[in-house]
Amino acid sequence: MDAPTVAAAPILVAIDGPAGSGKSSVSRASAARLGFGILDTGAAYRALAWAARETGSDLDDEAAVLALLDSWRYSSTLIGDQRIGVLLHDGQSYRTYDVTAAIRDHAVSGQVSRVSKHPGVRERLNRMFREIVADSGLPGVVIEGRDITTVVAPDAPVRILMTASPEVRAQRRAGELEGLSHEQVLADIAARDAKDALVVDFMTPAPGVTLVDTSELDFEQSVQAVVDIVRAVQGAAEEGK
């Protein structure tokens, strides 16, 4: 009797980087070109903040947020347009909410740090991210967000730190944010970098992490840089078999 065929684990591409580095858009385009899925971990934190507000949970109480995690269910499309779903109990029964647009609301964005600051919450969500990738059934998944290369997926065969100079990141962000000048966005990025520097180094790659500086790269060149890194690792793996 033949042994059952075991599906190969998805190739995991972990991408970290500060705001304005091109991380999110480049990750999504790279995943599409490679035929991989894309998992935006920040969306899960946004969805949790939305759920906490919706249920009246205290976002600053770690035990309350962990209790919410016990009862909710999170879903995210990995291929095609991003759709985010949350399953919550409304007091009588479970109901599924499409929160794709709601989690991008400014009122939700401003609360994300209140749920992400809890170590237990981050540990639980990191476990969830790994399970989503493992159960994806895809040849590979690009996973992007904060602490991806060092905490969420430190053993990923491809780990990339995508960065750019503060001036370039401010220019890109200013083009996305109406009503704000380049100087205002640059000041905001500088403040955010200073805050991030207390817990993570977005400018120096950890051992085994490849640095991709997009300061002098356009969008297409940035995507190709990621694709080239992934294909080089795939090629080396094939040669090693």
Q: pLDDT digits over 196-205, tens only?
A: 666 666 667 8
| pLDDT value at residue 127 | 92
Whether the per-residue pLDDT at 6 is higher than 50: the answer is no
Specify the pLDDT at position 206: 82
Among the residue ranges 11-20, 172-181, 210-219, the one predicted with the least confidence is: 172-181
11-36+140-241 and 40-138 agree in CATH topology: yes
Q: Where are the domains of the chain?
A: 11-36+140-241, 40-138
22 is in an annotated binding site: yes
Task: For residues 198 and 206, give the distance between their C-alpha atoms in angstroms, rounded to a whole number.
Answer: 16
Q: pTM of this prediction?
A: 0.84
pLDDT at 5 > cutoff 50: no
For 11-36+140-241, CATH number out of 3.30.70.1250, 3.40.470.10, 3.40.50.10210, 3.40.50.300 equals: 3.40.50.300
> Is 19 annotated for ligand binding?
yes
Average pLDDT on 51-69 reads 95
Name the percent of the chain lying above pLDDT 90: 56
Is domain 40-138 given the CATH code 3.30.1050.10 in the classification? no
Residue 207 assigned to a binding site? no
Predicted local distance difference test score (pLDDT) of residue 184: 82
Per-residue pLDDT tens digits for 138-174: 999 999 987 788 888 889 999 999 999 888 888 887 7
Instruction: Check whether 17 is labelled as a binding-site residue.
Output: yes
Q: Is residue 21 annotated as involved in ligand binding?
A: yes
